[in-house]
Amino acid sequence: MTQTKKLPSIANESVYVFPDIGDRTTAYLGKRFMAVELTEYAPWERTDGSLSKITSKQFDYLLLDGKHAAEFAGLKRLDDGSLLGSLLDIGGGTVFSSIREAITALAKECAAYERSLRF
């Protein structure tokens, strides 16, 4: 009897691509999500082509989604060390204790928002 060996399939593997972050510092890098630090000297140009730029006055960190190759949320450092996070398109704000916690919650919130836009 011939034995077969199942080879790993890359067909089911997701490929994530991030926008160019230039010389910005990466504060978090996961398989799908990234957080980059914003500085006052380098505003972020939105990947959706809008003319508005995202600056360090708005957010200290910008969260990027490699599935869409785009930014989706921002985080502002608070005096007590926590982070105030909000989706870029709808605003709001939730306090988080870490970047990872913020990514988990804001990614779910963003996905729910996108689903609500589908008819």
- Give me the phi and psi of 103, to 5 degrees please: -60, -45
Token readout for 116 is 């609500």
Query: How does pLDDT run across 12-50, given as a tens digit for each residue?
Result: 678 899 999 989 999 999 999 999 999 988 889 888 877
Mean pLDDT over all residues of the chain? 86
Question: Whole-angstrom Cα distance, residue 15 to residue 65?
Answer: 12
21 Cβ neighbours under 8 A, 6+ residues apart: 34, 36, 64
pTM of the model: 0.82
Annotated domain spans of the chain: 26-117
3-state secondary structure of 44: strand
Task: Name the residue among 113, 17, 101, 31 with its Cα closest to residue 67.
Answer: 17
Per-residue pLDDT at 5 exceeds 60: no
The proportion of the chain whose per-residue pLDDT surpasses 90, expressed as a percent, equals: 58
